[in-house]
């Protein structure tokens, strides 16, 4: 079974044999992670669609892949010839609504229990109730036909360098236990990998680009147990756990351990798989809430922010070297492809202190490929960077002192007036959010319109969110904050001082070019005055340090205040990076930060 159509046929045959009318394959693992180990990339295996998010639904009369606007063009290309139809999320129904409407009464739907959250299970059951459609989640029929399925990863688990840790695991555990008491919970189960890594001050590499490890953490009022592969825990990691009073057990024993508890259990239903709770006694009362650690880790300490600022200096210096080398190669007429961008970036970042790895797969899209927000060049399909056009580069690094994520667009050859207009509109949107002042505790989705206003004024828009939370040497995407009007606001979206997020508006012309300008920002309290008659206010400190290419700026479209912001930003970039660069990188930095 080497093609998606063959795998789809085998799945349909297995469904028919076991009496299923539909089978759902979400992008999920038992930890409801965004980025998955190969072992759980079932949707990729069956459909051939490699985007990070999407849901495959297979029915008797056909199969559909549900994806949002970031992936429409990619999915259309990758699904061609597979027999799987693309369904565009954001226009009309969701896959849940479609199943509830299209399936007959008393139909039977299946989904693997280790790819189904408790919250998703309830949503499906609620939608199916009117037609008595049953949801089976006690097994995975795909397992029998999945050839050469990857084993579970077991990378070494090691401590986050103590020089970059501002709070001990014991202190974090005490904060979580206090939150448990406030909620009346006897136990707390953490399934999300970044929460466990943050709380234990341990890191790993079980998930590509994310320094996390497969684990569960069960916390009681007087004891705590980390469930992870015993052979993965280094002696140094075991010492950190022992100091915090955290015991260990095998990763596969978590579900059985839950069978032995009583009282009440705090968990996040959106981050806990039904397979994990399979042996939980019915007598245990569930206390459902966002994990307290998710809220705690979203607010970086003053020491964390200081490390982040220094990490941004080092990352910015690496980017100066990268862009200087790239522009020289192009000027010399050397052949450079989209694939070469990642290699060059890694070479320059690897020279900076405390660098660990990229924070995600580099997106380097030239001209039409840049219009695909999550484009990924492959050896089989990549563009040569030559002639005239725009090159979009979205990349980032994992450092002991923080996680970076930056997008820049550079002209190749001579940019057109239309390209400069689009770039300037995106820059105006970026500056609008960067300069925003907003009430403390405002719900983050409500800030989105501030950023989009300059684009909306020109009757332009973009399909993805404007900003996401960023981890501290953790996942490049983390919650709870999200700057996107597509997100339904909830109290967990409250903006607090110390939160670390992206500012990344864009504009995409299908089959032509794509533009995105992304910096990372930290919420800071407005100091003068610290308190007003209307409460406390916050603003953004831009911490990413890298020139924004002024060769693409149409200054006629900029206001005086916007031009002042750009020149002030470039003066800061130049001042902070000059001591770290030399030779060609220094010359490039001085040229690209010249005032406009």
Ordered DSSP codes for 477-523? SEEEEEE-TTSPP-GGGB--TTBEEEE--EEEETTTEEEE-BEEEEE
CATH of domain 4-144: 3.40.350.10
Q: Per-residue pLDDT for 380 more than 90?
A: no
Predicted confidence band of residue 103 (pLDDT cuts 50, 70, 90): very high
When the candidates are 3.40.50.261, 3.40.1390.10, 3.90.230.10, 3.30.70.270, the CATH number that belongs to 299-592 is 3.90.230.10
Q: Would you place residue 68 in the very low, low, confident or very high pLDDT band (cuts 50, 70, 90)?
A: confident
How many angstroms from the chain centroid is the CA of residue 439? 26
Give 509-536 pLDDT, tens digit per residue: 999 999 999 999 999 999 988 889 999 9
Q: Give the pLDDT band of residue 90 (cuts 50, 70, 90).
A: confident
Number of Cβ atoms within 10 Å of the Cβ of 408: 20
pLDDT band at 111 (very low <50, low <70, confident <90, very high): very high
pLDDT over 80 (residue 351):
yes
pLDDT value at 115 more than 90: yes
Per-chain mean pLDDT for the chain: 96
Q: How far apart are CA 107 and CA 90, in angstroms?
A: 26
Q: What pLDDT is recorded for position 70?
A: 81
Q: Measured between alpha carbons, how far is 251 from 411 in angstroms, rounded to an integer? A: 49
pLDDT of residue 495: 98
pLDDT tens-digit profile of 205-216? 999 999 999 999
Q: In the structure encoding, which two tokens stand for residue 373, read together?
A: 């927000």
Which pLDDT score is estimated for 188? 98
In this prediction, residue 72 carries a pLDDT of 85
What are the angstrom distances between the C-alpha of 446 and each of 23, 442, 451, 485, 533?
36, 7, 10, 7, 22
**Biggest alpha carbon distance in the chain?**
72
Q: Is the pLDDT of residue 254 over 80?
A: yes
pLDDT given for residue 355 in this prediction: 98
Which band of pLDDT confidence, cut at 50, 70 and 90, is reported for residue 92?
A: confident
Q: Is the pLDDT of residue 185 over 90?
A: yes
Query: Residue 579 pLDDT more than 80?
Result: yes
Residue 299 host element (H or E)? none
- CATH 3.40.350.10 positions along the chain are 4-144, 158-292
Q: What percent of the chain has pLDDT over 90?
A: 92
Given a cut of 80, is residue 1 above it in pLDDT? no
**How far is the C-alpha of 593 from the C-alpha of 596, rounded, in Å?**
9
- CATH 3.90.230.10 range(s) for the chain read 299-592
Read off the pLDDT of each residue in 160-168 and give the average, rounded to a whole number.
98
91 pLDDT higher than 80: no
Confidence band (pLDDT; 50, 70, 90) for 372? confident
* CATH H-level, domain 158-292: superfamily: Creatinase/prolidase N-terminal domain (3.40.350.10)
User: Looking at residues 46-56, what average pLDDT do you find?
Assistant: 92
Mean pLDDT within 110-128: 97
């Amino acid at each position: 079974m080497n093609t998606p159509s063959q795998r789809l046929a085998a799945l349909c045959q297995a469904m028919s044999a076991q009496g299923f009318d539909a089978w759902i394959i979400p992008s999920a693992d038992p930890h409801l992670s965004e980025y998955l180990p190969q072992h759980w990339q079932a949707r990729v295996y069956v459909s051939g669609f490699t985007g990070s998010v999407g849901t495959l639904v297979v029915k008797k009369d056909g199969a559909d892949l549900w994806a949002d606007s970031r992936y429409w063009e990619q999915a259309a290309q990758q699904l061609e010839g597979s027999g799987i139809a693309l369904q565009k999320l954001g226009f009309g129904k969701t896959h849940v609504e479609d199943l509830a409407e299209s399936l007959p009464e008393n139909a039977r739907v299946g989904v693997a229990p280790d790819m189904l959250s408790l919250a998703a299970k309830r949503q499906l059951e609620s939608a199916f109730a009117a037609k008595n459609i049953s949801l089976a989640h006690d097994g995975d029929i795909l397992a029998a036909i999945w050839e050469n399925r990857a084993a579970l990863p077991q990378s070494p688990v090691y401590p986050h360098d103590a020089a970059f840790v501002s709070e001990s695991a014991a202190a974090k555990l005490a904060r979580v236990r206090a939150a448990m008491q406030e909620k009346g919970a006897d136990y707390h189960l953490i399934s999300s990998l970044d929460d466990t890594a943050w709380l234990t001050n341990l890191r790993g590499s079980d998930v590509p680009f994310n320094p996390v490890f497969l684990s569960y953490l069960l916390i009681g009022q007087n004891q705590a147990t980390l469930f992870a592969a015993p052979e993965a825990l280094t002696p140094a990691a075991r010492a950190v756990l022992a100091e915090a009073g955290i015991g260990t057990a095998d990763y596969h024993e978590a579900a059985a351990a839950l069978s032995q508890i009583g009282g009440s259990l705090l968990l996040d239903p959106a981050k806990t798989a039904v397979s994990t709770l399979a042996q939980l006694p019915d007598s245990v009362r569930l206390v459902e809430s966002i994990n307290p650690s998710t809220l705690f880790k979203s607010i970086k300490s003053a020491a964390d922010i200081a490390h982040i600022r220094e990490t941004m200096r080092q990352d910015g210096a690496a980017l100066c070297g990268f862009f200087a080398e790239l522009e020289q190669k192009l000027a010399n007429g050397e052949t450079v492809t989209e694939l070469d961008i990642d290699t060059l970036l890694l070479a320059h970042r690897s020279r900076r202190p405390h660098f660990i790895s990229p924070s995600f797969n580099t997106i380097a899209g030239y001209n039409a490929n840049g219009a695909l927000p999550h484009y990924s060049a492959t050896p089989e399909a990549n563009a040569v960077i030559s002639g005239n056009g725009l090159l979009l580069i979205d990349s980032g690094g994992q450092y002991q002192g923080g996680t970076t994520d930056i997008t820049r667009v550079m002209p190749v050859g001579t940019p057109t007036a239309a390209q400069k207009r689009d770039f300037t509109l995106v820059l105006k949107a970026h500056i609008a959010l960067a300069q925003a002042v907003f009430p403390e505790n405002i719900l983050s989705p409500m800030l989105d319109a501030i950023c989009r206003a300059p684009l909306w004024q020109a009757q332009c828009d973009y399909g993805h969110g404007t900003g996401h939370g960023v981890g501290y040497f953790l996942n490049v995407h983390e919650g709870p904050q999200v700057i996107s009007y597509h997100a339904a606001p909830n109290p967990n979206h409250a903006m607090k001082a110390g939160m670390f997020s992206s500012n990344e508006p864009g504009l995409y012309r299908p089959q032509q070019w794509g533009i995105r300008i992304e910096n990372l920002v930290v919420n800071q309290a407005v100091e003068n005055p610290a308190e007003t008659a209307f409460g406390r206010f916050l603003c953004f400190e831009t911490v990413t340090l890298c020139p924004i290419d002024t060769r693409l700026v149409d200054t006629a479209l900029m206001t005086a205040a916007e031009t002042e912001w750009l020149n002030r930003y470039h003066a800061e970039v130049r001042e902070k990076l000059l001591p770290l660069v030399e030779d060609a990188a220094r010359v490039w930095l001085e040229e690209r930060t010249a005032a406009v």
